[in-house]
Amino acid sequence: MINVLRQYFGLGFIRAFAPNQHNDSPPFGRISQSLLTDNLSYDTLKGRCGGWSMTTLERTRSKFLVADQVWIATALLQKEHPRRTEFSVSEIQERARKEGFLDETTNTFYVHANQHCVANRMPNPGNHRMLFETEGGHRRLYKPGDTCKPGRTGKITPEKDSIPAKYLYLLDWYSEWTKSASPARRSMDPLLRLRGSGKEIWKDEHADEYIRRLREGWE
């Protein structure tokens, strides 16, 4: 039971809600049963706690893996701005701040978004493949088939049982997004992007005439 609670809310939740001898103990059994049987969202779970120490719940609600928080914040941006192909790390941080993920006292989130979760950066030491660094130094979600550095063998998306239930829909969205986003991946290929370059040189001249003119004087 303790492991279930730790996985859902983090160690802080366990310290706050583990059974004790005080009269103000929370309805532990009710909370535990809810987690196991209903897969409740944070808001629903909060409503079943009888109002006990809600500030503690507020502090601990986002205590899941930082890498998963980075993926969620980026996925929310991609979903909300379907025409955009990349986002700055600061934009990802700001979106995380809106979700209550960002811990302003550390740079842990930034390091994950900048390095640990980025497939085409050398693992140091994080080896997740959740984000991809674009040519402009920005970020987007990693898509299967993207290039990645040796040693990058970590996860691409969060595990279903490791994130709050209200974000699970993003995993289904991502599955569909990777299918429709394949043309964007081709557009990032440096060789394919050369297609059509230089065509203005012979736009008013037939290709054969252009070649013939280039070869004049070769002999």
Rounded to an integer, what is the distance from CA 19 to the centroid of its chain?
A: 35
Amino acid identity for residue 19 in this structure = P
Tokens representing 209?
């005439």
Query: What's the confidence (pLDDT) of residue 139?
Result: 97
Compute the distance between CA of residue 66 and CA of residue 50 in angstroms, rounded to an integer. 29
Segment among 22-36, 55-69, 93-107, 174-188 with least mean pLDDT: 22-36
Query: What's the confidence (pLDDT) of residue 82?
Result: 93
Check if the beta carbon of residue 115 is closer than 8 Å to that of residue 121: yes
Segment among 90-99, 133-142, 148-157, 192-201 with least mean pLDDT: 192-201
Q: Is the pLDDT of residue 112 over 90?
A: yes
Angle, helices 66-80 vs 169-180, to 10°: value is: 60
Query: What's the confidence (pLDDT) of residue 191?
Result: 62
Question: Which residue has better confidence, 103 or 190?
Answer: 103
- Per the document, the length of the chain is 219
**What is the average pLDDT across 125-141?**
94
Query: What's the confidence (pLDDT) of residue 77?
Result: 98
Rounded to an integer, what is the distance from CA 166 to the centroid of its chain?
A: 15
State pLDDT tens for residues 53-105. Answer: 333 333 334 578 999 999 999 999 999 999 999 999 999 999 999 999 998 89
Query: What's the confidence (pLDDT) of residue 40?
Result: 38
**What is the average pLDDT across 181-190?**
54
Residues forming beta bridges with residue 141, ordered by sequence position: 131
- Domain ranges across the chain: 2-60, 66-186
**What is the average pLDDT across 149-172?**
95
Rg of the chain on CA atoms, in Å: 25
Q: Is 140 strand, coil or helix?
A: strand
Q: Is the pLDDT of residue 9 over 70?
A: no
**What is the average pLDDT across 167-190?**
77
Q: Which residue has the tokens 């960002």?
A: 102
Q: What pTM was computed for the model?
A: 0.58
Tokens representing 129?
């493949």
